[in-house]
Amino acid sequence: MLTIYSDDHRLHRGRVELNDGKLQPCYECPERADVILETIKRSAPGDIIAPLEFGLRPVRAVHKPRYIEFLRQAWDLWAAEGRSCDALPLNWAVRGMRQIEPDHIDGKLSYFSFDAGTPITAGTWSAATTAANVALTGAAKILEGERGAFALCRPPGHHAAADYFGGYCFLNNAAVATQYLLDNDAARVAILDIDYHHGNGTQSIFYDRSNVLFVSIHADPLQEYPYFLGHSDEQGRGDGKGYNLNLPLRRRCGVNEWFGALDTGLQRISDYAPDCAVVSLGVDTYIDDPISQACLESSDYLSVGARIAQLGLPVLFVLEGGYAVNDVGINVVNVLTGFTDVRRRAR
Ligand code: FKS
Ligand code: ZN
């Protein structure tokens, strides 16, 4: 399997996130990607290539201009207030309050975000744009005929919507790659999101569209972050009606239930008959993940990859979550080798 990777992810190293009522060290750290890269070098055959530069055009195809402008300037505006700590929002507009973009950076951070767990640092913009380029390069390789590619990117993307950040995500790498596939030959793309958390950003970006099928398996939002999207009755809107499938599961559900949902999701994708699939690959469904209440063992990830391969489609895997740093490498590599082993047997 082809891997796309850049060291630029290290430019985003948040110091603290608000969690359990405390400012704690960030779970989403550079070491995650370092461990995955090392494990791929050690035990997964295939080339590792650097991303190409796509400029902002494909990012603009998904994210709103004001939001892109905000992300680009946020750190400088924050630093201009004489602050050197991470930039975090502090309050939000809720029911009855007006949604007008403030001038002050503190107000902008609130206006363009939905949580206090996603610090912006000096290098966030560079890291986030490189992450989008990593995913885009994977999409370009799929268009060139590659049957599988892995975008080893961070910061992750699936919580980022057209105009807000949160959940450690700034630019929606999987959505940007998906839109690029559609703009360059693909008529229909299916997104399978198997991160433990609902991909609220991806869902909202494609909610009105029938040329993207979004399927997500995640912890029930009644019990788990991001709480306010991901219910099973969210099925799409307008032309998109019927092209959004949420499969929420109990927080501590068992392996059989999880694989049952995977089979349901894969069947729906197969019926949709897309040109290719994008997998938002989070491995925070791991039993020892520090922020999740999930159940998969490392060996289960081999079956995850194998079942995805059974779709018989070209697949772009895009990294999302997974915080058990010691095991994140093997868990990701197991998905990828499970996928390629089936592919090899099929040939
Ligand atoms: C735990 C509070 C939850 C935020 C969790 C964010 C999850 C991010 C992710 C992504 F893939 F985007 F990285 N804090 N007590 O894993 O979905
Ligand atoms: Zn997650």
- What pLDDT, in 10s, does the model give residues 286-330? 999 999 999 999 999 999 999 999 999 999 999 999 999 999 999
Q: If you ran DSSP here, which 8-state letter would residue 2 be given? A: E
Which residue's CA is the nearest one to ligand 1's atom 3?
Answer: 225
Counting from 1 in the atom list of ligand 1, the atom nearest the Cα of 280 is: 11
Element (H, E) at 189: strand 189-193
Q: If you ran DSSP here, which 8-state letter would residue 52 be given? A: P
Share of the chain above pLDDT 90, in %: 97
CA of 110 to the centre of ligand 1 (A): 18
* Angle (nearest 5°) at CA 26 between 74 and 170: 40
* Pairing of the two strands 212-219 and 22-25: unpaired
Q: How far apart are CA 339 and CA 341, in angstroms?
A: 6
The pLDDT-based confidence of 347 (bands split at 50, 70, 90) is: low
Per the CB < 8 A criterion, the answer to whether 146 and 49 are in contact is no
Q: Where are the beta strands (DSSP E) in 20-98?
A: 22-25, 48-49
Here the contacts of 65-70 (C-beta below 8 Å, separation 24 or greater) are 66/101, 66/163, 67/112, 67/162, 67/163, 67/164, 70/108, 70/112
The pLDDT-based confidence of 346 (bands split at 50, 70, 90) is: low
Q: Which of 9, 158, 159, 198 is catalytic?
A: 159
The pLDDT-based confidence of 18 (bands split at 50, 70, 90) is: very high
Cα dihedral sign for 325, 327, 329, 335?
negative
CA of 226 to the centre of ligand 1 (A): 8
Per-residue pLDDT for 125 more than 80?
yes
Condensed to tens digits (0 to 9), the pLDDT of residues 70-122 reads 999 999 999 999 999 999 999 999 999 999 999 999 999 999 999 999 999 99
Q: Please give the pLDDT value at position 345.
A: 74
Per-residue pLDDT for 220 more than 60?
yes
Per-residue pLDDT for 232 more than 90?
yes
Counting from 1 in the atom list of ligand 1, the atom nearest the Cα of 167 is: 6
Q: Please give the pLDDT value at position 189.
A: 99
Q: How far apart are CA 222 and CA 293, in angstroms?
A: 14
Using DSSP, state whether 190 is helix, strand or coil. strand
Tokens of 206: 């494609």
Q: Please give the pLDDT value at position 45.
A: 80
Condensed to tens digits (0 to 9), the pLDDT of residues 260-274 reads 999 999 999 999 999
Length of the chain: 347
Considering the chain, what is the average pLDDT of its residues?
97
User: What is the signed CA dihedral for 118, 123, 126, 130, rounded to 10 degrees?
Assistant: -70
The pLDDT-based confidence of 251 (bands split at 50, 70, 90) is: confident
Per the CB < 8 A criterion, the answer to whether 180 and 174 are in contact is no
Per-residue pLDDT for 184 more than 80?
yes
b/e for 246-270, b at 16 or more Cβ within 10 A?
bbbbeeebeeeebbebbeebbebbe
Q: Please give the pLDDT value at position 126.
A: 98
Counting from 1 in the atom list of ligand 1, the atom nearest the Cα of 19 is: 15
Q: Residue 159 catalytic?
A: yes
DSSP string, 158-173: TT-BTTBBBTTBSS-H
